[in-house]
Amino acid sequence: MISCIDLKKIFELGRVIDTDSSNSYLHIAYKLKLKNYRIISNGELLIKGKDLLVPEYMKEFLRFHNEAIMIANIINDKVLSIVLRSINTKKEFQKVGTSKNMFYGLGMMDKNFKYGDPIILVEGHLDRDAMSQFYPNVLAITTNKLSNSQVKILRYLTNRFVLMLDSDSAGQSGIKDTLYKLKEFSIIEFKHEAQMKDCGDLIKLERTNPSEYEWVKLLYQAKVDTYIKEVMRK
C-alpha cells in the first residue's frame, strides 16, 4: 500500500490550475481555487517522478491518457488518496491510495463544525465541490451506497443529514439504502430539478446555459438553506 508521504510527493509533481477551462473539473478547481486539484502529464511523472514510488497502474493510466487531473483527498495535510481523471480522452478514472470507506471532503469541512451540524451527502467528487459553493459541510460517498465503515464514521460526526444522491436508478437505489442505514437520525432527501441528474450538472449548466444556470443556482441555494433549517428542527 502506498504511503501518504509518497502520495503527497506524487501530487506535488502536478501543475497548479491557474487558468479556466471548458472541462467541468478544471473549471470548478479554477473558480473555487481548490488546492487539492492539479494536472499531471505522463512526461512529468516519468521525468520529475523518476525517483518516487509510483504504482505501476498509475503509470499505465498516464501512458494511455497522456494527461490527467489529480484530485487529492487531503486531511490534516496528509494525502490519503488521489483520483486521476482523464482530460482529452475517453472519460475514465483511476484511484490511487486509500479510498475505500473514506469520504471525499472530510478535510474541507468548516473548521467550526460540531456534532449536530447537518452534513450534505452526495455521490461524486464534482458533486461535492459543486455543492461546497452553497454549504461547507458536504461529503462525497464516492459511490452510490454507504459502506458500513462510512456509517460508523457518520455516527461520530453528526445526527443530521441532507441526502443529495443522483437522480438515476443507481442513485435512487443508494437513497433507499442510505435512508435505511441512517434511519435513527434526522435525514431529508433533496430532490433534484428535472433537468439535473446530479449536483455536478450545475457546473456543466454554467458553461452551456449561463442564464439558466443563474436561476438554477439561486433555486439550489434556497433549497439547501431550507433543508438545512428543516433538518435542524427535527
**68 vs 161: CA distance, rounded Å:** 33
Q: What SS3 state is found at 93?
A: strand
Supply the pLDDT for residue 15: 96
Question: Over the stretch 145-192, which tens digit does the pLDDT of each residue have?
Answer: 999 999 999 999 999 999 999 888 888 898 899 999 999 999 999 888
Residue 7: Cβ within 10 Å count = 26
Backbone dihedral angles phi then psi of residue 31, each to the nearest 5 degrees: -60, -45
Q: What is the pLDDT of residues 61-107, one digit of tens each?
A: 999 999 999 999 999 999 999 999 999 878 899 999 876 678 999 99
CA-based end-to-end distance of the chain: 42
Residue 191's pLDDT is: 85
Q: What does the pLDDT read at residue 99?
A: 64
Q: Report the amino acid identity of residue 28.
A: I
- Per-residue pLDDT tens over the stretch 70-83: 999 999 999 999 99
Per-residue pLDDT at 144: 87
Please state, in angstroms and rounded to a whole number, the distance separating the CA atoms of residues 11 and 36.
Answer: 9
The neighbour count for residue 228, using CB atoms within 10 Å, is 18
pLDDT at 20 over 90: yes
Half-sphere exposure (CA, 13 Å, Cβ side) for 46? Answer: 10
Higher pLDDT, 193 or 219: 219
Cell numbers linked to 125: 467528487
- Specify the higher pLDDT residue, 229 or 195: 229
Q: What is the DSSP letter of 104?
A: B
Residues 112 and 74: beta-carbon distance below 8 Å: no
